[in-house]
Each structure stands twice: as C-alpha cells, then as structure tokens.
Amino acid sequence: MKTSSFKSYLKKTLVTLTVAFATVFAVHAQSQPIKNVVLVHGAFADGSGYKALYATLTKKGYNVTVVQNPLTSLEDDVAATIAVLDKQDGPVILVGHSWGGTVITEAGNHPKVAALVYIAAFQPAEGETTLQWVQSAPPAAENGILPPDEKGIVYYDKAKFHAGFCADLSKADADFMYASQGAFHAKGFVTPVTKAAWKNKPAYGIVATEDKSIVPEIERAMYKRSNTKITEIKGSHVVFISQPEAVAKVIIEAALAASKK
C-alpha cells in the first residue's frame, strides 16, 4: 500500500473510531440516571421540614440538598437556590413546596435543572404574582395567614397553625414547625415572575387534597394551565412530611423520565 493511501486509510479509520466512541459516550451519558435533588421550602417553614423526605430519597440513592431560603424577597430566595444549583455535579430535579414553587419557577431556568416538581406549590407565569393565585379562590376557614406586621413580615396564626398548615401531623410536630417558621417578607408575594421555567422544562405537580393553606382547586388550576403532570395525594399542606414515600415517588418518576432524554 502506498504511503499516501495508507495515510488516507488511517485517517478514515480514526474518524470512524472517533465518531463511534463519541456516540457510545453520548448514549451512556444520556442513560445515566439523574441522582441530584434540590429541595426548596416555602413560607412559614424552614428546611428542617424536609427531613423525612430527605431520608426517604437518600435511602434510595439520591443526593439531596436542602436550600435554606432567607424569605426576604423572591430575588433573594432565587439567589439562594441558584447558589445550591451551581454546586451540583450534574443534572438536578428541582423541588419546591408552597411559596417554594414560585422560587423554583424562576430558579428552574438554571441550565442544570432537568425537571421541576411542585408540592402543593404556587406556579405563576411571567408577570404573575403569588398573591394573584392566593386570591383566586376563597380561603379555607382553617387558613391562618396573617396580614403583614409593621415590618412587612407575614406570619401564620398560632391558633390556626395545626389545623390550617399541618393537620395530619402530631400537635408536638406542629408546635415545633410553628416555632421554627421563617420570617416571610410580604413583598415576595407581590413580586412578579420574570421567566417561568415550567414553560420549557418537564413539570410535575402534587395536589394535597386536604390542603387548607392553598386550597386544592388553586393547585389544580395552576397545574392544568401549565400542562403539568398531576398527582393527587391525600394529605395536608405539608404532605411531604406526612406522606414522604408518596412524594418521593413523584420526584423519582421525574428523575427517571428526565434521565431518558
């Protein structure tokens, strides 16, 4: 074989092998299951509420990180979430509860986010505020969200916290949650979303059928509007605490579906 012909043959072979290896690598990369889950809490709560869900997911092999929202504004909570997303080593399933749904709607535009999971959560579109959705249906009688105080901070009424926020938990657990609730600044409720991630990424929504803080009809209306895949679970507003296995199942479904893309 002439030198020029051999060089040409060698070049073609190398190109073929390179393409083959690249294809194998791409298929392998796509088939790798997504194992990173980031949990974003809502108002009147903190990250400690995710302990049972964290334990359930980690036992199943997931790498779970809990964001501690400052609750000072939508922008601040989004920034706190993005800081956590930046540190993940690969694709992420981003999960938000209640107010945390508004946060993940904005923060979910991060390139590492593969899918969104809304747990009894708000899901505004561009230009919409959380307050719009709060006011879109009459509140349950048990709802205890108080008006902002003189500092613009919103708290949950202690007398209604157990029945309105976490009726399917023990009184002892409800008392701890009330004592550890974050100081939520009301301006977050009236800040519009600028870009809704659910318009471009797969979304899963859990309706808590016994919710007294966000009535279930509001959750259904938001999720249906956005073509979110809906799962209904019997539970209070903190269904992720009372039903961690059922909530984890939805998160795992989102992870497995996103891993196949």
Q: For 239-250, what is the mean pLDDT? A: 98
Whether the pLDDT of residue 36 is over 70: the answer is yes
Q: How far apart are CA 41 and CA 47, in angstroms?
A: 6
What residues are paired with 193 via a beta bridge?
A: 126
The model's pTM: 0.87
Q: How far is CA 157 from CA 44, 98, 175, in A?
A: 10, 17, 12
Q: What is the mean pLDDT of the chain?
A: 91
Residue 207 amino acid letter: V
Copy the structure tokens of residue 53: 């869900």
Sheet strand arrangement including 113-119: 63-67, 36-40, 92-97, 113-119, 203-208, 229-233
Copy the structure tokens of residue 254: 């989102």
- Under the banding of pLDDT at 50, 70 and 90, the label for residue 261 is confident
Contact 158, 179 (CB under 8 A): no
- What stretches of the chain show up as alpha helix (H) in DSSP? 3-31, 51-59, 74-86, 99-107, 130-134, 158-165, 171-179, 216-225, 239-242, 244-259
Q: How far apart are CA 124 and CA 122, in angstroms?
A: 6
Residue 186 amino acid letter: A
pLDDT in the model for residue 32: 77
Assign 3-class secondary structure to 45-76.
Answer: CCHHHHHHHHHHHHHCCCEEEEECCCCCCHHH
Whether the pLDDT of residue 21 is over 90: the answer is no
- The residue that leads in pLDDT, 14 or 126, is 126
Q: What is the pLDDT of residues 167-220, one digit of tens each?
A: 999 999 999 999 999 899 999 999 999 999 999 999 999 999 999 999 999 999
Whether the pLDDT of residue 259 is over 70: the answer is yes
pLDDT in the model for residue 161: 97
Q: What is the pLDDT of residues 41-93, one digit of tens each?
A: 999 999 999 999 999 999 999 999 999 999 999 999 999 999 999 999 999 99
Whether the pLDDT of residue 159 is over 70: the answer is yes
pLDDT in the model for residue 4: 55
